[in-house]
Structure 1
Amino acid sequence: MVAFSTVSARPASRRGSDTPSSPEEPSWGQALPTWPLVLFFAGYPVLWVLGLGGFAASLAALPMLGILLLRRGIRVPPSFGLWLLFLLWMTFSATQLDTAGRMIGFVFRYMNYAAATIFFLYVYNSTRRALPLSRAIGLMVLFWIWVVAGGYLGVVLPNGSISTPMQSLLPGSIVGNDYVSQLVHPKFAEVQRPWGAPKAYNRPSAPFAYTNTWGSHFALLVPFAILYMRTAAVQWRRNAVVVLLIASLVPAFSTLNRGMFLAVGVGVVYAAVRFGFRGQVKWLAAVLVLLGIGLAIASALGVGQSVGSRTQYSSTNAGRATIYREAFERTLESPFIGYGAPRPSKTLDISVGTQGQIWNIMFSFGFVALVLFCAWLWSLPLRTRAAPGALIWLHVVTVMASFMIFYYGLDGSQLVVIFMAAALVLRETAAGPAPAPDRPGAIGPTRPGASRPESRDLSGWVRYTPGPTWSQGEEDDE
């Protein structure tokens, strides 16, 4: 049986552990294997080609759940009960489902919520030695690279798609579901030509079903890339991320995704302000330079004109306002448990509850579920606001998520990214300062015979370096 305990996220906390404390490792967490995380973040392209991209988080969460069930003393942070209550309340809404298609959609969403929960607990309870910060951040950056690569597929081959093995294995009744079909027969881009538009808009979406899904992943992963750009141990990898960050602007701008632009812009400016108040001038300067480069490239490519043109022909603003109003008014008719899933609009050719996480939860699961969801999600930026050092970028992810829920659906692997960022910061602040360097003047503990530090300063407590990471091979040089 898994025993849960609630631990306040304070640096002084050193309570409980399954192993005795030692000078090298603070008394926190358990030595959980990292291969399930590698399966998801590193193996995502393989799963996508197999037609399992939409189920990747759930597949990776299954072994994590099994490992956690075999352990004792699993910790949870304060207020985590709000999230568990949300998951419980969500199950009551299943009584409102009236078709097999909506039942499939409900089960799929519930699997995603459950998977993100397991990811959170797994990372939060992992020791620093088992899951170093540098390794976790490296895996997230690798996932970001897959997102950027998929974006380029959409730019180069906008009409491309792939037939996956999963498409052949699933029954026709399931593949016939529009959303499932998008997952098992993925396209590289959404090609849209609103009535009257002078040309089609090729908006990259791979390796996801929709352009908005690509944009939300990209926005939430950019802070991880910036963090890695400044803290990776090996110089050439830092330089490579700088180049990739600039190159990623090509598919990002091609999406014409205003919500993504808003999220990244607000996140970067917010980070600059926080670093400025902390007196970290180098970080502030780096952030402002990045923002300036992005704006200059956007201006040179005429992104503003393209966005304005698409908005002129698509009437997306009026459509969203109408669907939001309808979602609220119809939820008043079933305020406690909602409708279980989105339903066709009475005025537009679109489903109510599909244009933002807030509206999806409110319409599908009712106002009680909405309060529980928001209470937990909005508690994350509050609890991570004191993130030490460069980890402020992980706090930025939770800040961005707190307003992206109004116009993006974040119930897929986006929620895994958000929970990963929060879990890492909460683990660091709860576990306390990292161990001191092995020798005076050293940046951090080094492997026998190593001539360079294992990683740069990440946490801000001390020069914390927990050990070898996936991104630091023996053959690497500075």
Structure 2
Amino acid sequence: MIGPAWPIAALLVGYPLWWALGFGGLAVVVLAVPMAVLLWRRRPVKVPRGFGLWLLLLAGYLISGLMLGESPPGTYGDFGAGRLIGYGMRLALYCAVLVMVLYLGNLTERELPQLRLVRMLGVLFVTTVAGGLLGLLHPGFEFTSPVELLLPEWISENPFVRNLIHPTAAQTQKVLGFSLPRPEAPYEWANAWGSNASVLLVWFVVGWWVYGRARHKVFVAVVVALAAVPIVYSLNRGLWIGLGLAVLYLIVRVGGRTRAALCAAVAAGALAFLLSPLAPLFAQRLDRPHSNDIRAFTVSATLAAATHSPVIGYGNTRNATGNHRSITTGKTGWCRTCGHPPLGSDGQLWLLVITQGFTGAALYVAFFLGAIRRHWRDRSPIGLGGVLVMGFVLLYMFVYDGLVTPLSLYLISFALLWRNAQPAGGTS
């Protein structure tokens, strides 16, 4: 695409290339630079309602950096490069997605039609499904990216950084008592794949089914059927719950023949699923809540640590002393599953609580709740889809990290709602 919308096309349609290069979710940080330059040239810049809440969130994160050298009781770790890298990368991402939202909101409908933006998100959904299938068929697929080769080892070996710059197809975990690959390509980890798949599915259906022709609808049906395989094998209960609630949301919010058609489609899909080989795996996962104890430990430890800096948090995560099995920190000969889980690693809400205190968490919730409240009456396909995604944000914050790629998709969905509320798709 040639024109001012090229950075968005480069991000969404060109995402597989960014992933292969080793940028992945950090591509938005790179592309925020030309977006900021182009925004500066088209001043004055218009801002959405709720903009001040995100600015306060950013300001709070800057202030939280004062606590990077401190560690609350029940945690350990020295102030060093790893802590600074994590803080800096999160700050860059928070700033980049803000620039991206402003950029999208200031493009006119002629420069970037809403449907084109929605369909670009749909293209990324197809990429996500392909990555999910790759993870199942070739779970050991991985390679060293160019970015990984260029970075010094003390940066590239940082666990947080490595997840972002080292392309892998799947995470192999013992969730059901045996090793099973959980798709993650082309994202940073399996839970990010699950969160992104649900958000992108919304826009894929809106762009290519609701606004599509007959041949587009056949394509959608085939891709969604294929997507069911990695969605089940992802073992992401949060994703499954989100999709179930999405169906209920749509049944309630649409009416007439659309509701009847939706109910019929859901019934047919459910029957096909129950008769498929995927159903037993789904049932096994529900019967074995593998991660409940781990999540309960990290969440309680996060809340306990946050009470010692409830207003500004600690700027970055901290390692808990011990885990849900033992007070021992790290693996031992008699406890091979022991370790030191990072606080805030089980959901964006808990990450905000430890990094920015309860104040930061409240600002994040208020930002997305405000978007739902303002756009609830928009019953257009994009309005319904956008509000649904905002609901996903508030659901997933309890179980999935928003960083890195999910947050970009959340904010693009927010921008779609903002653009949809502007007169005639303009920028006023």
What's the TM-score, normalizing by structure 1? Answer: 0.79
Aligned to 1:66: 37
Corresponding residue for 2:292?
317
Map Cα deviations across residues 163-189 of structure 1 (whole Å, 9 max, x no partner): 211111110000110121122222111
What amino acid is aligned across from residue 38 of structure 1 in structure 2?
A: A
Partner of 2:215: 236
Aligned residue number for residue 63 of structure 2: 92
Report the counterpart of residue 215 of structure 1 in structure 2: 194
Instruction: Return the match for 1:120 from 101, 111, 116.
Output: 101
Offset from partner CA, 1:10-57 (integer Å, 9 cap, x none) = xxxxxxxxxxxxxxxxxxxxx971100011001111111111113111
Change (3 A) 1:208 1:362: same
1:48 maps to which of 15, 19, 24: 19
CA distance in structure 1 between the partners assigned to 2:155 and 2:317 by the alignment: 18
The yes-or-no answer on 1:37 pairing with 2:37 is no
Say whether the 8 Å CA contact 2:305–2:354 is kept in structure 1: yes
**CA shift in 2, pair 1:40/1:433, >3 Å:** closer
- What does 1:207-356 align with in structure 2 at a 5 Å threshold? 207-276=186-255, 279=256, 281-282=257-258, 284-301=259-276, 303=278, 305-307=280-282, 309-310=284-285, 315-348=290-323, 349=339, 350-356=341-347
C-alpha distance in 2 between matches for 1:294 and 1:325: 38
CA distance in 2, matches of 1:323, 1:294: 36
What's 1:415 paired with?
407
What letter matches 1:367 in structure 2? F
Tell me if the contact between 1:147 and 1:207 (Cα under 8 Å) persists in the aligned partners: yes
Contact 1:253–1:298 (8 Å) recurs in 2: no
**In 1: Cα distance, 2:422 partner to 2:113 partner:** 15
**CA apart distance, 1:230:** 2.9
Q: State the aligned residue count.
A: 398
Instruction: Please give the per-residue CA displacement for 1:401-432, whole angstroms capped at 9, x wherever unaligned.
Output: 12211111113221222222222222222325
Aligned position for 1:75: 46
| Structure with the largest fraction of helix | 2
Q: Which residue of 1 aligns with 2:145?
A: 164
Q: Which amino acid aligns with 1:59?
A: V
Query: How many angstroms apart in 2 are the aligned matches of 1:433 and 1:187?
Result: 39
Q: CA deviation at 1:199?
A: 2.3
Distance between the aligned counterparts of 1:54 and 1:389, measured in 2?
A: 30
Residue 368 and residue 354 in structure 1: after superposition, are their counterparts in 2 closer, same or farther (change >3 A)? same
Q: Which residue of 1 aligns with 2:374?
A: 383
CA contact (8 A) 1:384 1:422 kept: no
Which among 111, 124, 132 is matched to residue 143 of structure 1? 124
CA distance in 2, matches of 1:57, 1:139: 15
2:72 match: none
CA drift at 1:255: 0.5
- Give me the TM-score of the superposition, normalised by structure 2: 0.88
Residue deviations 1:81-106 (CA, integer Å, cap 9, x gap): 01101111101111222221011111
CA contact (8 A) 1:354 1:360 kept: yes
Partner of 1:450: none
1:231 deviates by 3.3
User: Matched residues in 1 for 2:215 and 2:272: separation?
Assistant: 24
Secondary structure of the 1:190 match is strand
- CA-based RMSD: 2.1
Give the distance between the partners of 1:226 and 1:423, measured in 2 at CA: 18
1:289, CA displacement in angstroms? Answer: 3.8
1:180-218 deviation digits (Å, cap 9, x = unpaired): 112222211110125xx5421211111112110100000
The range that moved more, 206-215 or 176-185, is 176-185
Task: Give the distance between the partners of 2:295 and 2:269, measured in 1 at CA.
Answer: 28
Q: Which has the larger radius of gyration?
A: 1
5+ residue gaps, structure 1, are 1-30, 435-478
Determine the C-alpha separation between the residues in 1 that align with 2:168 and 2:3: 36
Match of 2:390 in 1: 398
Aligned residues of 1:228 and 1:238 also touching (Cα < 8 A): no
Question: In 1, Cα distance between the equivalents of 2:261 and 2:235?
Answer: 25
